[in-house]
Chains A and B, each alone.
Chain A
Amino acid sequence: MAKSDDCVHILQGLLVFGNVVIGICGIALTAECIYFVSNPDGLHPLLKATENSDIYAAAWIGIFVGLALFALSILGIIGVIKASRTLLLVYIILMLITFAFEMASCITAATNRDSLTPELFLKQMLERYQKSDPANNSDNEVTKTWDELMLQNHCCGVLGPSDWQDYTSAFRNTHSDADYPWPRTCCVLDAQGLPVSLDGCKLGVPGYYNSNGCYDAISGPVNTHAWGVAWFGFAILCWTFCVLLGTMFYWSGIDY
């Protein structure tokens, strides 16, 4: 009997430990998703304008799933220590529901990340940047976001300044090709915000204009965001899977 008690103790200990880890990870997931939702890189308007901002939906789900995991882990610890069948059954069912939600969030984040290709941003930029009569506010937001992006990252266009030459655009409709081969924000600017050499910028002389595309500056944070939600959630779910199996095994052994 002592041996079986030891087995019980070990199983209980493992389950309590598992639930503690789940609780901590739940808090971490909530914190991570709040960070992403707070738009630290200023890319939210671009993603919203693609009408495909499921990455933010996935992050919002992650916030609530994290809190649910924390609460359920406390319930689980209490249920395991008290060896209560009812509590553990409630725990298992609620955990399965949370598992399903988190699974949806991970898959959404991963799928949405795959859809954010350079072509998508290129098309959006060409159609909306500096649109002369914006139908709605999101075009202004797109323009402001692109200007900030190009200024801070010293980049131009999605793939390069030639984006403005290879395609017609809303920008081209209002700015002549001879005066503005590419927007002024693509020029190297001095402290006052004026181009160091306007002629050098218009010619495209290296050193007076930004020759890189901005896609790396966009995809970097978006990738971090999406894979942060998706892979961390995946790791939590794998751990939760093990804990839930252990809990079910424990539950089926409890005797009233």
Chain B
Amino acid sequence: TMLPLLLLLLPAAHGIARVPDTPKLTEDPRVEGLTTGTTFVLEQPRCFFQDYGDAVIWLVVALDEATSTFNDSAGPGTPETAFQGFPSPVRAYMTLNATLGSYPCPKPDGEITVLRVGSETSCARDATRPTCNGPLPGPGPYRVKFLALQGSEPVADTDWSSPIMLRTAKSPDSISTTGSGHSAGMIAITTILSILFAILLAALVAMLVFWGSDSCGGSSTFSKPEAVTVRRYNTHHVYDQPAA
């Protein structure tokens, strides 16, 4: 009988307040790099922790399946929460600490207030920087929450976000470059030109076959060269003196 009572008392004894906000990916402005292969962009926790004026707000990034086992009292910067050990053996790390002053409430219009998770590449392998905001090692899914610490005591946190999947890149070999067929213009050009060429060849053959014969209609229209031309060949053609 003591056990249920103890269990009931535990959350109260836990001392962490749950603020009614959830971290989410940035919606305004719409950024192209909302999720990339190794980073994602969150909205800043403005107006989340108003009652905790002197707290330091940390971001906890966890594997999807590790959210239930995360210990809020694990301090930042310890080997249990070091980025360099993520995802194995560290299943959730803490990074991006900031005081409440960095997140003034309400958010001024026109400012872009985002947190880019995964943007620090210089310290990704530096064990002396366990709170590094390093690039994520895989496509996820990941879940995040904000945790407010006063001194080293956790005092408030948010809900875990919904799972965040990052982008996976395909190989360029998967792009098929086989043509999408021929356009109508190309087919038109080919057929019409082929037909014209065939007609010309046929006409050439007909022309050569009937060479010399006057059987073609219309030959009588110019069987004689012009009168002017005949004059030039006077020495050869003794007939057909034109009338003066």
Contacts and interface: CB of A to CB of B under 8 A. Distances in A.
B32 A161 contact: yes
Contact of B203 (A83, A117, A119, A248): A248
Given A166-B169, A167-B171, A107 B186 contact: yes
B175 interface: yes
B217 to A, nearest CB: 10
Contacts of B219: 252-253, 255
B31 to A, nearest CB: 4
Nearest to A5: B226
A115 B178 CA distance: 8
Interface in A204-247: 204-206, 209, 211, 227, 230-231, 234, 237-238, 241, 244-245
Contacts of A176: 38, 121, 135
Contacts, number: 175
A167 B37 CA distance: 10
Given A106-B189, A176-B121, A202-B119, A245 B37 contact: no
B186 A110 contact: yes
Given A122-B175, A165-B167, A177 B38 contact: yes
Interface residues of A, number: 64
- Chain B contact residues, majority secondary structure: loop
Given A117-B179, A237-B196, A166 B31 contact: no
A253 B41 CA distance: 84
Interface stretch (B5-13, B70-78, B110-118, B146-154): B110-118
B1 interface: no
Contacts of A169: 172
Given A113-B186, A234-B192, A248 B207 contact: yes
B200 A244 contact: yes
A213 B203 CA distance: 51
Given A8-B226, A106-B193, A241-B196, A162 B180 contact: no
A205 B112 contact: yes
A219 to B, nearest CB: 13
Interface string B33-62: 110111101000000000000000000000
A178 B175 contact: no
Contacts of A83: 222, 225, 229
Nearest to A170: B172
Contact of A178 (B121, B200, B207): B121
Nearest to A92: B204
B39 A177 contact: yes
A123 B171 CA distance: 10
Given A126-B172, A161-B32, A203 B114 contact: yes
B211 interface: yes
Interface string B206-220: 010011001010111
A206 B218 contact: no
Contacts of A254: 222
Interface stretch (A67-75, A95-103, A146-154): A95-103
Interface string B136-173: 00000000000000000000000000000001011110
B177 A117 contact: yes
Contact of A209 (B32, B112, B180, B196): B32
Sorted nearest first, the 8 A-B pairs with minimum C-beta distance are A204-B32, A110-B186, A204-B33, A8-B222, A178-B135, A4-B221, A126-B172, A177-B37
Interface of B: 29-34, 36-39, 41, 112, 114, 116, 118-121, 134-135, 167, 169-172, 174-177, 179-183, 185-186, 189-190, 192-194, 196-197, 199-201, 203-204, 207, 210-211, 214, 216, 218-227, 229
Interface of A: 4-5, 7-8, 11, 83, 92-93, 96, 99-100, 103, 106-107, 110-111, 113-115, 117, 119-120, 122-123, 126-127, 161-162, 165-169, 172, 176-179, 181, 199-200, 202-206, 209, 211, 227, 230-231, 234, 237-238, 241, 244-245, 248-249, 251-255
8 contacts: A93-B204, A107-B189, A107-B190, A166-B167, A178-B118, A178-B119, A199-B116, A249-B218
